[in-house]
A and B are shown apart, each in its own frame.
Chain A
Protein backbone atom coordinates (compact mmCIF):
# COMPACT_ATOMS: atom_id res chain seq x y z
CA UNK A 1 0.00 0.00 0.00
CA UNK A 2 1.36 3.40 -0.94
CA UNK A 3 1.64 5.97 1.79
CA UNK A 4 3.43 6.98 4.95
CA UNK A 5 1.71 4.78 7.47
CA UNK A 6 1.74 4.46 11.25
CA UNK A 7 0.07 1.28 12.52
CA UNK A 8 -0.87 1.11 16.20
CA UNK A 9 2.18 3.11 17.21
CA UNK A 10 2.86 3.90 20.88
CA UNK A 11 5.85 5.64 22.41
CA UNK A 12 6.77 5.59 26.08
CA UNK A 13 9.41 7.79 27.65
CA UNK A 14 10.40 6.32 31.04
CA UNK A 15 6.88 5.04 31.70
CA UNK A 16 5.14 8.15 30.37
CA UNK A 17 2.88 7.48 27.39
CA UNK A 18 3.84 10.23 24.96
CA UNK A 19 1.90 8.64 22.11
CA UNK A 20 -0.74 5.93 22.45
CA UNK A 21 -1.94 3.60 19.71
CA UNK A 22 -1.79 6.06 16.83
CA UNK A 23 -2.71 4.83 13.36
CA UNK A 24 -2.97 6.87 10.18
CA UNK A 25 -1.83 6.91 6.59
CA UNK A 26 -0.72 9.85 4.48
CA UNK A 27 -1.31 8.98 0.83
CA UNK A 28 0.73 10.47 -2.05
CA UNK A 29 -0.68 13.85 -3.00
CA UNK A 30 -2.61 14.14 0.25
CA UNK A 31 -2.08 16.75 2.96
CA UNK A 32 -3.01 15.59 6.44
CA UNK A 33 -3.13 18.10 9.29
CA UNK A 34 -2.13 17.23 12.83
CA UNK A 35 -3.52 19.56 15.51
CA UNK A 36 -3.75 19.54 19.29
CA UNK A 37 -2.58 21.44 22.34
CA UNK A 38 1.08 21.74 23.27
CA UNK A 39 2.19 18.46 24.81
CA UNK A 40 -0.49 16.42 23.07
CA UNK A 41 2.18 14.39 21.26
CA UNK A 42 2.35 16.04 17.83
CA UNK A 43 6.13 16.39 17.66
CA UNK A 44 6.59 12.83 18.93
CA UNK A 45 4.41 11.67 16.01
CA UNK A 46 6.62 13.73 13.67
CA UNK A 47 9.73 12.09 15.14
CA UNK A 48 8.19 8.63 14.81
CA UNK A 49 7.25 9.34 11.19
CA UNK A 50 10.85 10.24 10.27
CA UNK A 51 12.72 7.60 12.27
CA UNK A 52 14.13 10.08 14.78
CA UNK A 53 12.14 8.19 17.41
CA UNK A 54 11.63 4.42 17.51
CA UNK A 55 8.13 3.16 18.43
CA UNK A 56 7.74 1.25 21.71
CA UNK A 57 5.04 -0.80 19.96
CA UNK A 58 3.49 -0.67 16.51
CA UNK A 59 4.97 -0.30 13.03
CA UNK A 60 5.94 2.46 10.61
CA UNK A 61 5.61 1.68 6.91
CA UNK A 62 6.70 3.70 3.88
CA UNK A 63 5.01 2.58 0.66
CA UNK A 64 4.46 -0.82 2.26
CA UNK A 65 8.09 -1.20 3.41
CA UNK A 66 8.43 -1.78 7.13
CA UNK A 67 10.96 0.76 8.44
CA UNK A 68 10.17 0.27 12.13
CA UNK A 69 13.33 0.73 14.17
CA UNK A 70 15.37 2.01 11.24
CA UNK A 71 17.43 5.21 11.51
CA UNK A 72 16.51 8.60 9.98
CA UNK A 73 18.83 8.17 6.95
CA UNK A 74 16.84 5.07 5.99
CA UNK A 75 13.63 7.08 6.14
CA UNK A 76 15.20 9.86 4.09
CA UNK A 77 16.35 7.39 1.46
CA UNK A 78 12.86 5.87 1.39
CA UNK A 79 11.55 9.34 0.54
CA UNK A 80 10.46 10.74 3.91
CA UNK A 81 11.88 14.22 4.47
CA UNK A 82 11.11 16.41 7.47
CA UNK A 83 11.51 19.93 8.71
CA UNK A 84 12.11 20.89 12.31
CA UNK A 85 10.06 23.04 14.63
CA UNK A 86 13.27 24.54 16.00
CA UNK A 87 14.85 25.10 12.55
CA UNK A 88 17.97 23.02 12.10
CA UNK A 89 20.28 24.39 9.42
CA UNK A 90 23.97 23.71 8.82
CA UNK A 91 25.10 26.94 10.38
CA UNK A 92 28.56 27.32 8.88
CA UNK A 93 27.59 26.30 5.36
CA UNK A 94 26.29 28.65 2.68
CA UNK A 95 22.62 28.80 1.74
CA UNK A 96 23.32 26.88 -1.48
CA UNK A 97 25.33 24.17 0.33
CA UNK A 98 22.48 23.72 2.82
CA UNK A 99 20.07 23.12 -0.02
CA UNK A 100 22.57 20.90 -1.89
CA UNK A 101 22.64 18.60 1.15
CA UNK A 102 18.90 18.18 0.61
CA UNK A 103 19.40 17.59 -3.12
CA UNK A 104 22.04 14.92 -2.33
CA UNK A 105 19.45 12.84 -0.44
CA UNK A 106 19.58 9.73 -2.57
CA UNK A 107 23.25 9.90 -3.60
CA UNK A 108 26.08 8.11 -1.83
CA UNK A 109 29.02 10.49 -1.39
CA UNK A 110 32.30 8.59 -1.59
CA UNK A 111 36.06 9.10 -1.78
CA UNK A 112 36.00 7.90 -5.38
CA UNK A 113 33.37 10.53 -6.14
CA UNK A 114 35.68 13.21 -4.79
CA UNK A 115 38.95 12.00 -6.28
CA UNK A 116 38.26 10.29 -9.58
CA UNK A 117 37.01 12.64 -12.29
CA UNK A 118 34.14 11.13 -14.19
CA UNK A 119 31.82 12.72 -16.75
CA UNK A 120 28.72 11.03 -15.31
CA UNK A 121 29.47 12.35 -11.85
CA UNK A 122 30.05 15.86 -13.17
CA UNK A 123 26.68 15.73 -14.90
CA UNK A 124 25.07 14.50 -11.70
CA UNK A 125 26.71 17.30 -9.71
CA UNK A 126 25.45 19.86 -12.22
CA UNK A 127 21.94 18.39 -12.06
CA UNK A 128 21.94 18.55 -8.25
CA UNK A 129 23.09 22.14 -8.40
CA UNK A 130 20.35 23.07 -10.82
CA UNK A 131 17.81 21.39 -8.57
CA UNK A 132 19.10 23.25 -5.51
CA UNK A 133 19.02 26.59 -7.33
CA UNK A 134 15.48 25.89 -8.57
CA UNK A 135 14.38 25.13 -5.00
CA UNK A 136 15.96 28.39 -3.83
CA UNK A 137 14.17 30.27 -6.61
CA UNK A 138 10.87 28.72 -5.46
CA UNK A 139 11.29 30.20 -1.99
CA UNK A 140 12.67 33.48 -3.29
CA UNK A 141 16.19 32.98 -1.93
CA UNK A 142 18.13 32.42 -5.14
CA UNK A 143 20.17 35.61 -4.72
CA UNK A 144 21.41 34.41 -1.30
CA UNK A 145 23.18 31.26 -2.55
CA UNK A 146 26.66 32.24 -1.34
CA UNK A 147 25.49 33.80 1.95
CA UNK A 148 26.31 31.87 5.14
CA UNK A 149 23.01 30.90 6.77
CA UNK A 150 24.28 32.44 10.01
CA UNK A 151 23.72 35.84 8.42
CA UNK A 152 20.01 35.31 7.64
CA UNK A 153 16.88 36.46 9.44
CA UNK A 154 14.49 33.94 10.99
CA UNK A 155 12.03 34.16 8.13
CA UNK A 156 14.78 33.66 5.55
CA UNK A 157 16.11 30.66 7.48
CA UNK A 158 12.65 29.07 7.40
CA UNK A 159 12.65 29.47 3.64
CA UNK A 160 16.11 27.86 3.33
CA UNK A 161 14.93 24.89 5.39
CA UNK A 162 11.92 24.55 3.15
CA UNK A 163 14.10 24.77 0.03
CA UNK A 164 16.33 22.04 1.48
CA UNK A 165 13.26 19.83 1.89
CA UNK A 166 11.92 20.56 -1.61
CA UNK A 167 15.34 20.02 -3.23
CA UNK A 168 15.34 16.53 -1.72
CA UNK A 169 12.35 15.76 -3.97
CA UNK A 170 10.57 13.86 -1.20
CA UNK A 171 7.75 11.39 -1.63
CA UNK A 172 6.49 12.40 1.81
CA UNK A 173 7.11 15.63 3.65
CA UNK A 174 6.69 15.88 7.40
CA UNK A 175 6.41 19.54 8.36
CA UNK A 176 6.72 20.55 12.00
CA UNK A 177 5.36 24.11 12.35
CA UNK A 178 6.61 25.49 9.01
CA UNK A 179 4.67 28.73 9.61
CA UNK A 180 6.19 29.56 12.99
CA UNK A 181 7.78 33.02 12.96
CA UNK A 182 6.87 33.66 9.33
CA UNK A 183 5.17 36.97 8.47
CA UNK A 184 1.67 36.93 6.86
CA UNK A 185 2.95 37.82 3.39
CA UNK A 186 5.49 34.99 3.44
CA UNK A 187 2.84 32.64 4.82
CA UNK A 188 0.90 33.14 1.61
CA UNK A 189 3.97 32.17 -0.38
CA UNK A 190 4.44 29.15 1.90
CA UNK A 191 0.83 28.06 1.43
CA UNK A 192 1.16 28.32 -2.34
CA UNK A 193 4.39 26.28 -2.36
CA UNK A 194 2.99 23.53 -0.15
CA UNK A 195 -0.17 23.31 -2.26
CA UNK A 196 1.89 23.09 -5.46
CA UNK A 197 4.04 20.25 -4.11
CA UNK A 198 0.96 18.46 -2.77
CA UNK A 199 -0.67 18.71 -6.17
CA UNK A 200 2.53 17.37 -7.73
CA UNK A 201 2.02 14.19 -5.71
CA UNK A 202 3.93 14.74 -2.45
CA UNK A 203 2.14 13.35 0.61
CA UNK A 204 2.36 15.73 3.56
CA UNK A 205 1.85 15.59 7.29
CA UNK A 206 1.43 19.15 8.51
CA UNK A 207 1.76 20.14 12.16
CA UNK A 208 0.77 23.81 12.39
CA UNK A 209 -0.66 26.22 14.91
CA UNK A 210 -1.96 28.64 12.28
CA UNK A 211 -5.61 27.55 11.96
CA UNK A 212 -6.06 29.36 8.66
CA UNK A 213 -3.16 27.54 7.06
CA UNK A 214 -4.36 24.12 8.24
CA UNK A 215 -7.94 24.79 7.18
CA UNK A 216 -6.98 25.92 3.69
CA UNK A 217 -4.36 23.34 2.88
CA UNK A 218 -5.34 20.03 4.41
CA UNK A 219 -7.59 17.34 3.00
CA UNK A 220 -8.30 15.99 6.47
CA UNK A 221 -7.16 16.65 9.99
CA UNK A 222 -6.21 14.46 12.95
CA UNK A 223 -6.85 15.89 16.41
CA UNK A 224 -4.54 14.77 19.21
CA UNK A 225 -5.01 14.90 22.96
CA UNK A 226 -2.93 13.20 25.66
CA UNK A 227 -0.91 11.28 23.08
CA UNK A 228 -3.88 9.75 21.26
CA UNK A 229 -5.72 10.65 18.08
CA UNK A 230 -9.19 11.54 19.41
CA UNK A 231 -10.78 13.10 16.34
CA UNK A 232 -10.52 12.88 12.57
CA UNK A 233 -12.32 14.82 9.87
CA UNK A 234 -12.42 18.34 8.52
CA UNK A 235 -10.57 21.07 10.43
CA UNK A 236 -13.85 22.51 11.77
CA UNK A 237 -15.10 19.11 12.94
CA UNK A 238 -11.85 18.27 14.66
CA UNK A 239 -11.48 21.60 16.47
CA UNK A 240 -15.09 21.34 17.70
CA UNK A 241 -14.47 17.83 18.99
CA UNK A 242 -11.24 18.90 20.70
CA UNK A 243 -12.98 21.87 22.35
CA UNK A 244 -15.85 19.69 23.60
CA UNK A 245 -13.49 17.39 25.45
CA UNK A 246 -13.58 17.82 29.23
Chain B
Protein backbone atom coordinates (compact mmCIF):
# COMPACT_ATOMS: atom_id res chain seq x y z
CA UNK B 1 0.00 0.00 0.00
CA UNK B 2 2.85 2.31 0.90
CA UNK B 3 4.10 2.19 -2.66
CA UNK B 4 0.71 2.23 -4.35
CA UNK B 5 -0.74 5.28 -2.66
CA UNK B 6 1.30 7.89 -4.56
CA UNK B 7 0.38 6.19 -7.83
CA UNK B 8 -3.32 6.14 -6.92
CA UNK B 9 -3.20 9.77 -5.81
CA UNK B 10 -1.46 10.79 -8.99
CA UNK B 11 -3.94 8.90 -11.12
CA UNK B 12 -6.63 10.92 -9.37
CA UNK B 13 -4.86 14.17 -10.24
CA UNK B 14 -4.66 13.10 -13.84
CA UNK B 15 -8.21 11.84 -14.16
CA UNK B 16 -10.22 14.32 -12.09
CA UNK B 17 -9.55 17.39 -14.28
CA UNK B 18 -10.38 15.36 -17.36
CA UNK B 19 -13.59 14.32 -15.63
CA UNK B 20 -14.56 17.82 -14.49
CA UNK B 21 -13.41 18.98 -17.87
CA UNK B 22 -12.81 22.34 -19.39
CA UNK B 23 -10.78 25.24 -18.09
CA UNK B 24 -12.10 24.93 -14.56
CA UNK B 25 -11.05 21.30 -14.30
CA UNK B 26 -7.52 21.87 -15.50
CA UNK B 27 -7.21 25.02 -13.37
CA UNK B 28 -8.17 23.06 -10.28
CA UNK B 29 -5.77 20.29 -11.32
CA UNK B 30 -2.88 22.76 -11.57
CA UNK B 31 -3.82 24.25 -8.20
CA UNK B 32 -3.75 20.75 -6.73
CA UNK B 33 -0.33 20.06 -8.25
CA UNK B 34 1.01 23.31 -6.76
CA UNK B 35 -0.34 22.27 -3.35
CA UNK B 36 1.28 18.84 -3.73
CA UNK B 37 4.69 20.34 -4.60
CA UNK B 38 4.46 22.80 -1.71
CA UNK B 39 3.50 20.06 0.76
CA UNK B 40 6.25 17.72 -0.46
CA UNK B 41 8.81 20.47 0.15
CA UNK B 42 7.41 20.99 3.62
CA UNK B 43 7.83 17.29 4.32
CA UNK B 44 11.58 17.72 3.83
CA UNK B 45 11.86 20.54 6.36
CA UNK B 46 9.25 19.36 8.85
CA UNK B 47 8.68 15.69 8.13
CA UNK B 48 12.26 14.55 7.56
CA UNK B 49 14.34 16.89 9.70
CA UNK B 50 11.62 17.66 12.27
CA UNK B 51 11.81 21.46 12.10
CA UNK B 52 8.45 23.12 12.66
CA UNK B 53 8.69 26.04 10.22
CA UNK B 54 5.74 28.34 9.63
CA UNK B 55 7.37 30.41 6.89
CA UNK B 56 6.65 28.03 4.05
CA UNK B 57 4.15 30.13 2.05
CA UNK B 58 6.27 33.31 2.23
CA UNK B 59 9.18 31.23 0.89
CA UNK B 60 6.93 30.07 -1.94
CA UNK B 61 6.34 33.77 -2.62
CA UNK B 62 10.04 34.23 -3.39
CA UNK B 63 9.77 31.77 -6.27
CA UNK B 64 6.63 33.47 -7.54
CA UNK B 65 8.16 36.96 -7.39
CA UNK B 66 11.37 35.76 -9.05
CA UNK B 67 9.38 34.42 -12.02
CA UNK B 68 7.03 37.43 -12.12
CA UNK B 69 9.91 39.89 -12.12
CA UNK B 70 12.19 38.20 -14.61
CA UNK B 71 9.46 37.31 -17.11
CA UNK B 72 7.83 40.78 -17.10
CA UNK B 73 10.82 43.13 -16.67
CA UNK B 74 13.67 41.15 -18.21
CA UNK B 75 11.49 39.07 -20.58
CA UNK B 76 13.12 35.80 -19.58
CA UNK B 77 11.28 32.60 -20.43
CA UNK B 78 9.60 30.66 -17.61
CA UNK B 79 12.13 27.84 -18.01
CA UNK B 80 15.07 30.19 -17.51
CA UNK B 81 13.49 31.73 -14.41
CA UNK B 82 12.65 28.38 -12.79
CA UNK B 83 16.19 27.63 -11.52
CA UNK B 84 16.47 31.22 -10.28
CA UNK B 85 13.20 30.80 -8.37
CA UNK B 86 14.55 27.62 -6.75
CA UNK B 87 17.92 29.13 -5.83
CA UNK B 88 16.50 32.39 -4.43
CA UNK B 89 13.99 30.51 -2.29
CA UNK B 90 16.62 28.02 -1.13
CA UNK B 91 19.08 30.78 -0.21
CA UNK B 92 16.50 32.72 1.79
CA UNK B 93 15.35 29.38 3.26
CA UNK B 94 18.82 28.94 4.72
CA UNK B 95 18.60 32.39 6.33
CA UNK B 96 15.14 31.63 7.74
CA UNK B 97 16.52 28.31 9.01
CA UNK B 98 19.55 29.83 10.76
CA UNK B 99 17.73 30.22 14.11
CA UNK B 100 17.16 26.45 13.87
CA UNK B 101 20.81 26.02 14.83
CA UNK B 102 19.95 27.39 18.27
CA UNK B 103 16.25 26.86 18.93
CA UNK B 104 13.87 23.95 18.54
CA UNK B 105 10.19 23.09 18.41
CA UNK B 106 7.68 25.73 19.38
CA UNK B 107 10.34 28.46 19.73
CA UNK B 108 11.52 27.75 16.17
CA UNK B 109 7.91 27.98 15.01
CA UNK B 110 7.64 31.45 16.57
CA UNK B 111 10.94 32.60 15.08
CA UNK B 112 10.01 31.40 11.57
CA UNK B 113 6.59 33.01 11.99
CA UNK B 114 8.45 36.30 12.52
CA UNK B 115 10.68 35.64 9.51
CA UNK B 116 7.62 34.93 7.37
CA UNK B 117 5.99 38.18 8.50
CA UNK B 118 9.18 40.07 7.59
CA UNK B 119 9.11 38.52 4.11
CA UNK B 120 5.44 39.48 3.74
CA UNK B 121 6.32 43.02 4.76
CA UNK B 122 9.13 43.15 2.20
CA UNK B 123 6.68 42.00 -0.49
CA UNK B 124 4.45 44.93 0.38
CA UNK B 125 7.15 47.57 0.72
CA UNK B 126 9.89 46.89 -1.83
CA UNK B 127 7.95 48.55 -4.65
CA UNK B 128 10.78 48.18 -7.11
CA UNK B 129 10.74 44.40 -7.05
CA UNK B 130 7.19 43.58 -6.06
CA UNK B 131 5.12 46.65 -7.04
CA UNK B 132 3.83 46.67 -3.48
CA UNK B 133 0.14 46.13 -2.89
CA UNK B 134 -0.63 46.41 -6.62
CA UNK B 135 1.24 43.17 -7.29
CA UNK B 136 2.77 42.16 -10.60
CA UNK B 137 0.33 41.53 -13.42
CA UNK B 138 0.75 40.46 -17.03
CA UNK B 139 3.00 37.46 -16.43
CA UNK B 140 3.25 35.75 -19.82
CA UNK B 141 2.05 32.13 -20.14
CA UNK B 142 4.54 29.29 -20.27
CA UNK B 143 5.91 28.46 -23.71
CA UNK B 144 6.73 24.96 -24.81
CA UNK B 145 8.65 24.60 -28.08
CA UNK B 146 7.96 28.25 -28.88
CA UNK B 147 4.20 28.04 -28.38
CA UNK B 148 2.30 29.50 -25.43
CA UNK B 149 0.36 26.77 -23.64
CA UNK B 150 -3.27 26.97 -22.52
CA UNK B 151 -4.79 25.75 -19.23
CA UNK B 152 -4.50 22.12 -20.23
CA UNK B 153 -0.88 22.54 -21.36
CA UNK B 154 0.05 24.28 -18.12
CA UNK B 155 -1.57 21.44 -16.21
CA UNK B 156 0.65 18.97 -18.06
CA UNK B 157 3.71 21.13 -17.32
CA UNK B 158 2.69 21.24 -13.65
CA UNK B 159 2.15 17.50 -13.60
CA UNK B 160 5.69 17.04 -14.93
CA UNK B 161 7.11 19.29 -12.23
CA UNK B 162 4.99 17.58 -9.58
CA UNK B 163 6.14 14.13 -10.65
CA UNK B 164 9.77 15.26 -10.67
CA UNK B 165 9.34 16.65 -7.17
CA UNK B 166 7.71 13.43 -6.01
CA UNK B 167 10.55 11.33 -7.41
CA UNK B 168 13.17 13.67 -5.93
CA UNK B 169 11.60 13.69 -2.45
CA UNK B 170 11.17 9.91 -2.42
CA UNK B 171 14.81 9.50 -3.45
CA UNK B 172 15.77 11.78 -0.57
CA UNK B 173 13.72 9.78 1.91
CA UNK B 174 15.36 6.52 0.88
CA UNK B 175 18.90 7.92 0.78
CA UNK B 176 21.56 8.08 3.50
CA UNK B 177 20.80 11.81 3.69
CA UNK B 178 17.10 11.19 4.39
CA UNK B 179 17.98 8.60 6.99
CA UNK B 180 20.35 11.06 8.68
CA UNK B 181 17.64 13.73 8.70
CA UNK B 182 15.16 11.38 10.33
CA UNK B 183 17.78 10.27 12.83
CA UNK B 184 18.48 13.82 13.96
CA UNK B 185 14.72 14.46 14.06
CA UNK B 186 14.32 11.56 16.49
CA UNK B 187 17.38 12.17 18.68
CA UNK B 188 19.91 14.90 18.00
CA UNK B 189 22.36 13.87 20.70
CA UNK B 190 22.56 10.28 19.45
CA UNK B 191 22.73 11.49 15.84
CA UNK B 192 25.70 13.74 16.60
CA UNK B 193 27.40 10.87 18.42
CA UNK B 194 26.99 8.81 15.22
CA UNK B 195 28.91 11.41 13.23
CA UNK B 196 25.94 13.35 11.81
CA UNK B 197 26.65 17.07 11.46
CA UNK B 198 23.36 18.20 12.91
CA UNK B 199 23.55 21.95 12.21
CA UNK B 200 24.59 21.55 8.61
CA UNK B 201 21.85 19.02 7.86
CA UNK B 202 19.19 21.14 9.58
CA UNK B 203 20.09 24.06 7.30
CA UNK B 204 20.16 21.79 4.24
CA UNK B 205 16.62 20.61 5.06
CA UNK B 206 15.46 24.22 5.18
CA UNK B 207 17.20 24.96 1.86
CA UNK B 208 15.68 21.95 0.07
CA UNK B 209 12.20 22.55 1.50
CA UNK B 210 12.34 26.21 0.49
CA UNK B 211 13.79 25.41 -2.95
CA UNK B 212 10.85 23.09 -3.64
CA UNK B 213 8.50 25.81 -2.38
CA UNK B 214 10.20 28.00 -4.99
CA UNK B 215 9.08 25.56 -7.72
CA UNK B 216 5.51 25.76 -6.38
CA UNK B 217 5.77 29.57 -6.39
CA UNK B 218 7.03 29.64 -9.96
CA UNK B 219 4.11 27.51 -11.10
CA UNK B 220 1.70 29.68 -9.14
CA UNK B 221 2.98 32.81 -10.90
CA UNK B 222 2.37 31.43 -14.38
CA UNK B 223 -0.98 29.93 -13.47
CA UNK B 224 -2.52 33.14 -12.10
CA UNK B 225 -0.36 35.34 -14.35
CA UNK B 226 -0.52 37.71 -11.39
CA UNK B 227 1.44 37.78 -8.13
CA UNK B 228 0.73 39.72 -4.95
CA UNK B 229 1.67 39.30 -1.33
CA UNK B 230 -1.80 38.21 -0.17
CA UNK B 231 -1.30 34.78 -1.75
CA UNK B 232 1.63 33.89 0.52
CA UNK B 233 0.32 34.71 3.97
CA UNK B 234 -0.08 32.77 7.17
CA UNK B 235 -3.37 31.26 5.96
CA UNK B 236 -1.51 29.50 3.13
CA UNK B 237 1.16 28.24 5.51
CA UNK B 238 -1.49 26.91 7.86
CA UNK B 239 -2.93 24.83 5.04
CA UNK B 240 0.51 23.37 4.27
CA UNK B 241 1.03 22.52 7.95
CA UNK B 242 -2.44 20.98 8.03
CA UNK B 243 -1.59 18.73 5.07
CA UNK B 244 1.59 17.57 6.85
CA UNK B 245 -0.38 16.92 10.05
CA UNK B 246 -2.99 14.87 8.22
CA UNK B 247 -0.38 12.91 6.26
CA UNK B 248 2.08 12.34 9.10
CA UNK B 249 5.78 13.18 9.26
CA UNK B 250 7.72 11.96 6.26
CA UNK B 251 4.71 10.15 4.70
CA UNK B 252 4.94 10.97 1.02
CA UNK B 253 2.00 9.11 -0.52
CA UNK B 254 -0.37 10.42 2.11
CA UNK B 255 1.01 13.93 1.61
CA UNK B 256 0.07 13.82 -2.08
CA UNK B 257 -3.40 12.54 -1.24
CA UNK B 258 -3.96 15.05 1.59
CA UNK B 259 -2.76 18.01 -0.49
CA UNK B 260 -5.19 17.10 -3.28
CA UNK B 261 -8.02 16.54 -0.80
CA UNK B 262 -7.48 19.88 0.91
CA UNK B 263 -7.26 21.67 -2.45
CA UNK B 264 -10.61 20.26 -3.55
CA UNK B 265 -12.13 21.12 -0.14
CA UNK B 266 -10.86 24.71 -0.30
CA UNK B 267 -12.22 24.96 -3.84
CA UNK B 268 -15.66 23.72 -2.72
CA UNK B 269 -15.64 26.19 0.17
CA UNK B 270 -14.78 29.20 -1.99
CA UNK B 271 -18.44 30.32 -2.36
CA UNK B 272 -18.76 30.23 1.44
CA UNK B 273 -15.85 32.54 2.26
CA UNK B 274 -17.26 33.45 5.69
CA UNK B 275 -17.08 29.89 6.98
CA UNK B 276 -14.01 28.53 5.13
CA UNK B 277 -11.52 29.78 7.76
CA UNK B 278 -13.67 28.22 10.44
CA UNK B 279 -13.67 24.91 8.57
CA UNK B 280 -9.86 25.01 8.31
CA UNK B 281 -9.65 25.67 12.05
CA UNK B 282 -12.06 22.84 12.83
CA UNK B 283 -10.03 20.51 10.60
CA UNK B 284 -6.83 21.37 12.47
CA UNK B 285 -8.53 20.66 15.81
CA UNK B 286 -9.91 17.38 14.47
CA UNK B 287 -6.54 16.27 13.11
CA UNK B 288 -4.72 17.15 16.34
CA UNK B 289 -7.36 15.33 18.39
CA UNK B 290 -7.02 12.31 16.12
CA UNK B 291 -3.24 12.39 16.37
CA UNK B 292 -3.38 12.56 20.17
CA UNK B 293 -5.88 9.71 20.25
CA UNK B 294 -8.54 11.88 21.88
CA UNK B 295 -11.36 10.47 19.75
CA UNK B 296 -10.37 6.99 20.83
CA UNK B 297 -10.27 7.98 24.49
CA UNK B 298 -13.66 9.62 24.14
CA UNK B 299 -15.09 6.60 22.33
CA UNK B 300 -13.72 4.18 24.95
CA UNK B 301 -15.18 6.26 27.78
CA UNK B 302 -18.52 6.44 26.03
CA UNK B 303 -18.52 2.67 25.53
CA UNK B 304 -17.52 2.07 29.17
CA UNK B 305 -20.29 4.44 30.26
CA UNK B 306 -22.92 2.65 28.19
CA UNK B 307 -21.69 -0.68 29.51
CA UNK B 308 -21.99 0.56 33.10
CA UNK B 309 -25.53 1.76 32.50
CA UNK B 310 -26.48 -1.56 30.89
CA UNK B 311 -24.82 -3.48 33.73
CA UNK B 312 -26.66 -1.39 36.34
CA UNK B 313 -29.96 -2.43 34.84
Binding site for B on A (CB under 8 A): 50, 52, 71-73, 75-77, 81-82, 84, 88-93, 97-98, 100-102, 104-107, 109-111, 113-115, 125, 128, 164, 168
Contact = CB atoms under 8 A, between A and B. Distances in A.
24 contacts: A50-B193, A52-B193, A73-B195, A73-B197, A84-B193, A88-B190, A88-B193, A90-B186, A92-B249, A93-B179, A101-B180, A104-B179, A105-B194, A109-B175, A113-B175, A114-B171, A114-B176, A115-B168, A115-B171, A115-B172, A125-B176, A164-B194, A168-B194, A168-B195
B189 A52 contact: yes
A132 to B, nearest CB: 11
B50 to A, nearest CB: 10
B182 A92 contact: yes
Contacts of A168: 194-195
A93 B189 contact: no
A101 B183 contact: yes
Interface of B: 168, 171-172, 174-180, 182-183, 185-187, 189-198, 201, 204, 208, 249
A168 B180 CA distance: 14
A82 B171 CA distance: 30
Give the interface SS of chain B, mostly helix, strand, loop or mixed.
helix
B189 A97 contact: no
Contact of A88 (B180, B189, B196, B208): B189
Given A90-B186, A101-B183, A110 B177 contact: yes
A111 B176 CA distance: 10
Nearest to A84: B190
Interface-central residue, A90, A91, A98, A168, by most chain B CB under 10 Å = A90
Contacts of B197: 73
B87 to A, nearest CB: 13
Contacts of B175: 109, 113-114
B186 A93 contact: yes
Contact of B179 (A91, A97, A106, A164): A97
A50 B176 CA distance: 23
Contact of A114 (B177, B187, B195): B177
Contacts of B168: 115
A90 B172 contact: no
A76 B193 CA distance: 6
Contacts of A91: 186-187
B186 A92 contact: yes
B187 A90 contact: yes
Contacts of A106: 195
Given A92-B186, A109-B176, A109-B201, 4 more contacts: A52-B189, A88-B189, A91-B186, A97-B183
A5 to B, nearest CB: 19
Contacts of B201: 109
Contact of A109 (B171, B177, B185, B189): B177
Contacts of B187: 88-91
For the complex of A and B, the 10 pairs showing the least CB-CB separation, nearest first, are: A76-B195, A114-B175, A88-B190, A109-B177, A90-B186, A109-B176, A72-B192, A105-B195, A90-B183, A101-B183
A73 B171 contact: no
A73 B198 contact: yes
A128 B201 CA distance: 20
Contact of B191 (A75, A101, A128): A101
A91 B204 CA distance: 22
Contact of A101 (B174, B194, B208): B194
A90 B191 contact: yes
A198 to B, nearest CB: 20
B105 to A, nearest CB: 16
A149 to B, nearest CB: 9
A146 B249 CA distance: 18
